[in-house]
Amino acid sequence: MTVEVGTELPEQLFRVTRADLVRYAGASGDFNPIHWNERVALQVGLPGVIAHGMFTMALAGRAVTAWTGDPAALVEYQVRFGRPVVVPDDDEGAELTVRGKVAALLDDGRARVDLTVTSGGEKVLSLARAVVRLP
């Protein structure tokens, strides 16, 4: 594939439901109740149950690995958790949109990809960046 600065990754849309959060809690071992218990989430001042930041990071990473076609090609990956993704108690859940753009070509055939991750039109991750080995 031809990659240059400004090359855009295919946009990816994800739906995140409460069931996804319960499954991620079990798989990751992060059982913080703010990710599955509305009562606790409200008590600590959140607008409702929120997704694990690490779950959002994992989904955003899929936009990168889907683009390169090789999960092992993602050599560096970082995010700042800016705003929580509130997940309503319904079948639709929350929507997550991941866009990415090649920001720099590095040495050794690597590229830096900057990601824009939004939910309900608001940015939920900031400084979301990946370094990938290009095929």
Partner 1 sequence: MALDRELVGRSYPPSAVYEVGRAKIAEFATAVGALDPVHLDADAARAAGHPDVIAPPTFAIVVSLDAAFVVLSDPEVGLDYSRVVHGEQKFTHHRPVRAGDRLVATTTIDAARTVAGNDLLTARVELAGEDGEPVCTAVSMLVARGA
Residues in contact with partner 1 by the rule CB under 8 A: 14, 20, 23-24, 26-30, 53-55, 57-59, 61-62, 65, 70-72, 74-81, 127
In the complex with partner 1, the residue whose CB is nearer, 42 or 75, is 75
In the complex with partner 1, the residue whose CB is nearer, 29 or 47, is 29
Alpha-carbon separation of residue 42 from 39, 54, 125 (angstroms): 5, 21, 22
In the complex with partner 1, the residue whose CB is nearer, 105 or 131, is 131
In the complex with partner 1, the residue whose CB is nearer, 24 or 36, is 24
Rounded to whole angstroms, how far apart are CA atoms 24 and 30? 8
Rounded to whole angstroms, how far apart are CA atoms 85 and 46? 10
CB of 129 to partner 1, least distance (A): 9
Instruction: Fill in the amino acid letter for 93.
Output: G
Select from 115, 112, 104 the least CA-distant residue to 56: 115
CB of 117 to partner 1, least distance (A): 13
CB of 3 to partner 1, least distance (A): 19
CB of 57 to partner 1, least distance (A): 6
DSSP reduced 3-state for 35: helix
Q: Bridge partners of 16? A: 94
CB of 58 to partner 1, least distance (A): 4
Q: How far is CA 50 from the centre of its chain?
A: 13
